[in-house]
Amino acid sequence: MSVGESGHGGGPAAPVFAPDPVGLAHLEAILSGAYPLAGFMTAAEAASVAGHGRLPDGTPWPVPVTLAVPAGLADAARLVLTDPEGAPLAELTVSERWWSGPGGPGTEGSSGEESAGPGTPDPHGALDRRGPADGHGGPGHRLAGEVRFIRPSMYGSLRHLRRVPADVRARREAGGAPDRPLLAVVTGRPLHHRALHQIRAAADRIGGGRRAEVLVIIDAPFDGEGMAPAILAAEPLLPARTRFAVATLPPADPALPEDRADLLAAHVARSYGATHVLIDRDPDARSAPAPAGPPIPVLHPGDWRYDTGEELWLPAERVDPAHARTEPGDAEVEESLALGRELPAWFTPARVAAELARLRPARTRRGLTVFFTGLSGSGKSTVARGVSEAVRRSGRTVTLLDGDVVRRMLSSGLTFSRADRDLNIRRIGFVAAEITRHGGVAICAPIAPYAVTRAEVRAMVEDAGDFFLVHVATPLEVCEARDRKGLYAKARAGEIPEFTGVSDPYEEPTDADLVLHTEGRSVAESVAEAVAALRTGGWLPTDRP
């Protein structure tokens, strides 16, 4: 996210702002026509949608569409919205400024008039807004208002497939069969044999004697291809004249009812001209309830099994249990790929398997970030150096990003305020993600005391490869007793403000892949434990010391 100024639209220069990934996904959907909305929602609209699945005027809509901005832009009257590279996309005319979350200042219209604040019931009287009213992003400032298109976006992966819904509808009409049903398949997963059989069966069922046309809407991130290449690899096995389009849908918000993600997919599919929608899911995922009041029918093909006798995928009720095989879930597939195992032919087409093997190579060839976190004096830098040497001996390319070295070389000039410490960790995460993207191993050893910033780094890296979090869980009193730099003594004396563990908190990880207890152990023992975990996980070869 970035902030600047621009003179677009005439008059005084408007601030320039690059929305976060959720805001950018909403913005592109608004501008493309995938959402039937003119802009970002007000507090009342967001609260009504979150609570009831409809706007205050009664129009059904499943998810709040809001724009989170930093405090420095909360009073803006206009805002030029850009992509992450700074190219202007749209201008927002602010109609309302509001706060999402507990304890906030309430909402203000563009005139400064107070509107409903946190804890105030929404217009329908059912939603008590003591928590985030809009989902996604938690507490923070929001701006509402209409957006004016400036120029088409050139940012994002697979731009040639990011077709405007109106263009998809027009091409279909020009193709000569606009009255034939159109089945939209919304997926971010590869299409394995089970899904391909279900798609063909659904297209036949709704076609009324003629197979319905098929549009595959690929949900892919802006900054990477995701699983799109593996999805496209299945094209020869899909019905003839199947079309593809790429869109970026915001992630499902756990604060909203479970059916809202399916409802959003149905609304987006309808914008492309679909008459029915089928949503492909991980077979291990919990089944979401059938969405209430979808704009087009949402098809649920039910449970299917592979019949080893017939060598076909069929509805489960038609398969003898003695001959039934269940599709492996995404986690099992990922583990097979990570360990370099071939995916079975009964499960997925050879073209899809080959593309998956390219996208998700065995972990010994996959980029990795090993991220050590712990208090100052915990021993994380020493252990990280030992692990770095072991990784190098295994034959892998490794880069060590030690906290103190990064401070001197990458983050010189930053203070130790929370904002600057977070920025320092994000910089480390960015460099580590680029190393990971190119197949290397990045080993990082900052304190990284805040859970939210560590989560940002994990997400950043996992877009490029694998992330392994190590919590060096040395007790504070042990760290303070070591204190070879005298930092704790200075912090206790008040010479170092906001010192982690003394005057500022350390948020212990709850998502660590490995917890190292260094108290009473040698450095060699801690290094050996970390290296063994990496070798067991498949990131280091087993045939080297």
Query: Per the annotation, where are the binding residues for ATP?
Result: 374-381
**Across the strands, what pairs with 92?**
79, 147
Round the CA-based radius of gyration of the chain to a whole number and report it. Answer: 26
Instruction: State the DSSP H helix or E strand holding residue 430, giving kind and residue range, or none if neither.
Output: helix 418-437
Residues belonging to the binding site are 374-381
Distance CA 54, CA 60 (A): 4
- Tell me 511's DSSP state: S
Are 403 and 432 in contact, with CB atoms under 8 Å apart? no
Q: How far is Cα of residue 541 from the mean position of the Cα atoms in its chain? A: 30
Please give the span between the terminal C-alpha atoms of the chain, in angstroms, as a whole number.
43
Bridge-based pairing of strands 213-219 and 243-247 is parallel
Burial 325-358 (b: 16+ CB within 10 A, else e): eebbebeebeebbbeeeebeeebbbeebbebbbe
Rounded CA-CA distance 191/481 in Å is: 56
SS3 383: helix
> CA-to-CA distance for 388 and 390, rounded, in angstroms?
5
Which has the closest alpha carbon to 186: 292, 240, 263? 263
The Cα–Cα gap between 281 and 287 comes to 9
C-alpha distance from residue 175 to each of 90, 186, 213, 338 (Å): 32, 22, 11, 43
- Residue 528 makes CB contacts below 8 A (sequence gap 6+) with none
Dump the DSSP string for 40-98.
EPPHHHHHHHHHHSB-TTS-B--S---EEE-GGGTT-SEEEEE-TT--EEEEEEEEEEE
**E strand map for 359-516:** 368-373, 398-402, 441-445, 466-472, 514-516
Question: d(Cα 82, Cα 86) in Å, to the nearest integer?
Answer: 5
DSSP string, 217-240: EEE--TTS-TTHHHHHTTGGGSPT
Instruction: Calculate the alpha carbon distances from 531 to 97, 108, 121, 397 in Å.
Output: 51, 54, 54, 15
Q: How far apart are CA 417 and CA 450, in angstroms?
A: 13
180 closest CA partner among 149, 158, 213, 154? 213
C-beta of residue 471 within 8 angstroms of C-beta of residue 514: yes
Distance CA 232, CA 346 (A): 19
